[in-house]
């Protein structure tokens, strides 16, 4: 019986391998043999999760034709991967990817680092900060005081607690977007909201237009739902969307859904302007596309001179085009898994009805905690504390990077939690791999793209500050030196410091 559970075609694998842009070799730098470079490329794709474990690889002859190399080169690369534990083969069944014993399985998204690893590893993988105390404790205490009446009920509220739905609707109304509680559904985080929207509107095989780059975990959620992702390149720097490209994609591809982050985009930090928002809503309406606006970063402006545009849904007064997603996870705490959807009443009713076959509802205690924050003013004070933490961390990280890695390029966003960095011509995938061994965990650019894009980038979140930011930059510089030297991915890279 074959041990593989999926297959990677020769053309697909060649495309992924060709996306791995190496830095040109400097004086005295020796390039590895062709078979070694091919083996390293496939190993990196497996470690990144872009080629799944237990995926059948193409036959040697097929891959050689797609890559325009000799069959001997492919055979030698496969043999090297088998010797290292990244490939298994059996006569008649082919060859399939594996990971050596003791290696963690690669994640396709951005999974949190296990707590036991935090002592030796600086985690720049997850864009999440510690809870803004004392507000978490106060919110939970307030929720416990409000809990007894709900404990006498069945506890299932598929649309969310009525009090929280009303409070969220009131907050939209205060922002100039008249909203009724019937237009709100409370979800288990923003991921739960977008998953429900994709299942309602998307369906397997449907096209979904996404910003390029976009948030890695959402991209993977859509892939696993069977969507066909259509990337739309962002405008240069922090200027937001390229509206001409969006018009073309919406007109030519006619996607069922378009997913965007208008406020401090993840990963670039861009803030879309009001005119861009208006034009994108108009283009989506004309194409019959449901525009999903992710507002999870909307309250995380970090500079005092930021002028926040109106929400995307402000340009859709009829409510026929825009579905908005919000969350407490970024602005407050990732452990507070409360999100919400704002949409037309018929959309909310459909989402609620479908929930009977999903998670039934969101935990009551957490909903009460968020409602306490909203109703007491604790939310505003907690978010202000969060902004201060993120601002200090951003400034410390920027300063450390400019000192340790002056050739790396980035623009400093005015809000959000992430820095999108061009890594001086180095491979982001190799930096991520070597970084793990020198004690800094960083996600590479291809996690945020479609089909291997952004190999030359890494995303750095504002999760560490002070001396830890200095140490993180020093470890990234150590990883960059290893990658720049052209050293093989095997063996131990030099370790620097212990956190």
- pLDDT at position 91, please? 84
Q: 206: alpha, beta or left, given left = phi > 0 and alpha = psi -120 to 50?
A: beta
Cα(334)–Cα(461) distance, integer angstroms: 14
Measured CA angle at 23 (ends 18, 27), to 5 deg:
135
- pLDDT at position 318, please? 85
pLDDT per position as a tens digit, 451-474? 667 888 999 999 999 999 999 999
- Alpha carbons within 13 angstroms on the beta-carbon side of residue 64 total 14
237 contacts: CB under 8 Å, gap ≥ 6: 270, 411
Strand-pair category, 339-342 with 184-187: antiparallel
Cα(281)–Cα(96) distance, integer angstroms: 45
Q: Which secondary-structure segment (H or E) carries 373?
A: helix 364-376
The runs of H, that is alpha helices, within 3-129 are: 10-18, 34-48, 60-67, 71-84
Lookup result for tokens 């001997």: 72
Cα(423)–Cα(406) distance, integer angstroms: 10
| Average confidence (pLDDT) per 10 residues, the chain, 499 residues | 68 83 48 88 79 85 94 95 91 85 55 64 91 97 96 92 98 96 96 94 89 92 90 89 93 94 96 97 97 97 95 93 96 95 96 85 95 97 97 98 97 97 90 91 89 84 95 97 71 29
pTM for this one?
0.82
pLDDT per position as a tens digit, 87-134? 998 888 889 988 787 665 554 446 666 666 556 789 999 899 999 999
- pLDDT at position 28, please? 47
Cα(123)–Cα(112) distance, integer angstroms: 8
- pLDDT at position 452, please? 65
- pLDDT at position 361, please? 86
- pLDDT at position 110, please? 60
- pLDDT at position 378, please? 97
- For residue 247, what is the DSSP state? H
Q: What tokens does 453 get?
A: 């894009």
Cα(461)–Cα(398) distance, integer angstroms: 11
Q: Which of 54, 50, 191, 56 is nearest to 107 (CA)?
A: 50
pLDDT per position as a tens digit, 233-267? 898 889 899 999 899 999 999 999 999 999 999 99
- Beta carbons of 417 and 464 less than 8 angstroms apart: no
Q: What tokens does 387 get?
A: 């902004």
- pLDDT at position 30, please? 64
DSSP lists the bridge partners of residue 241 as: 234
- pLDDT at position 359, please? 82
The set of long-range contacts for 489-498, using a CB threshold of 8 Å and a minimum separation of 24, is: 489/40, 489/43, 489/44, 489/430, 489/433, 489/434, 490/84, 492/437, 493/434, 493/437, 493/438, 494/438, 495/437, 495/438, 495/439, 496/438, 496/439, 497/439, 497/471, 498/120, 498/439
């Amino acid at each position: 019986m074959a041990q593989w559970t999926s297959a990677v075609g020769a053309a697909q694998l060649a495309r992924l391998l060709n996306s791995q842009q190496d830095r040109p070799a400097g004086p005295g730098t020796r390039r590895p043999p062709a078979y070694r470079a091919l083996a390293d490329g496939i190993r990196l794709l497996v470690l990144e999760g872009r080629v799944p474990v237990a995926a059948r690889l193409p036959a040697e002859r097929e891959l050689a034709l797609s890559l325009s190399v000799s069959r001997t080169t492919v055979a030698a690369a496969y043999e090297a991967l088998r010797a290292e534990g990244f490939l298994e083969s059996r006569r008649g069944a082919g060859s399939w990817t594996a990971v050596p014993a003791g290696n963690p399985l690669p994640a396709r998204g951005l999974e949190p680092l296990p707590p036991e690893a935090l002592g030796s590893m600086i985690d720049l993988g997850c864009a999440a900060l510690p809870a803004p105390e004392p507000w978490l404790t106060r919110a939970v205490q307030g929720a416990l005081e409000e809990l007894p009446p709900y404990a006498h009920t069945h506890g299932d509220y598929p649309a969310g607690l009525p009090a929280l739905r009303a409070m969220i609707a009131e907050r939209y109304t205060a922002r100039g977007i008249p909203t009724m509680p019937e237009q709100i559904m409370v979800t288990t985080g923003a991921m739960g909201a977008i998953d429900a929207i994709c299942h309602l509107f998307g369906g397997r095989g449907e096209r979904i237009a996404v910003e390029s780059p976009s948030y890695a975990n959402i991209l993977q959620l859509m892939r696993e739902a069977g969507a066909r992702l259509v990337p739309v390149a962002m405008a240069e720097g922090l200027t937001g969307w390229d509206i001409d490209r969006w018009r073309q994609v919406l007109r030519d591809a006619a996607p069922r859904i378009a997913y965007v982050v208008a406020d401090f985009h993840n990963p670039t930090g861009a803030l879309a302007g009001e005119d861009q928002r208006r034009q994108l809503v108009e283009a989506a309406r004309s194409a019959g596309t449901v525009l999903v606006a992710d507002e999870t970063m909307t309250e995380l402006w970090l500079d005092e001179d930021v002028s926040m545009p109106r929400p995307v849904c402000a340009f859709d007064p009829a409510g026929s085009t825009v579905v908005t997603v919000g969350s407490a996870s970024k602005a407050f705490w990732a452990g507070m898994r409360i999100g919400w959807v704002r949409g037309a009443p018929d959309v909310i009713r459909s989402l609620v009805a479908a929930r009977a076959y999903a998670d039934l509802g969101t935990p009551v205690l957490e909903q009460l905690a968020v409602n306490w924050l909203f109703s007491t003013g604790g939310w505003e004070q907690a978010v202000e504390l969060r902004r201060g933490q993120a601002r200090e961390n951003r400034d410390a990280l920027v300063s450390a990077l400019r000192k340790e890695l002056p050739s790396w390029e980035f623009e400093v966003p005015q809000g959000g939690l992430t820095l999108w960095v061009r890594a001086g011509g180095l491979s982001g995938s190799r930096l991520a791999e070597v970084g793990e061994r020198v004690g800094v965990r960083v996600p590479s650019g291809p996690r945020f793209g479609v089909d291997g894009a952004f190999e030359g980038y890494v995303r750095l979140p504002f999760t560490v500050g002070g001396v830890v930011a200095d140490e993180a930059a020093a470890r990234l510089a150590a990883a960059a030196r290893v990658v720049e030297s052209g050293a093989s991915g095997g063996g131990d890279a030099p370790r620097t410091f212990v956190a």
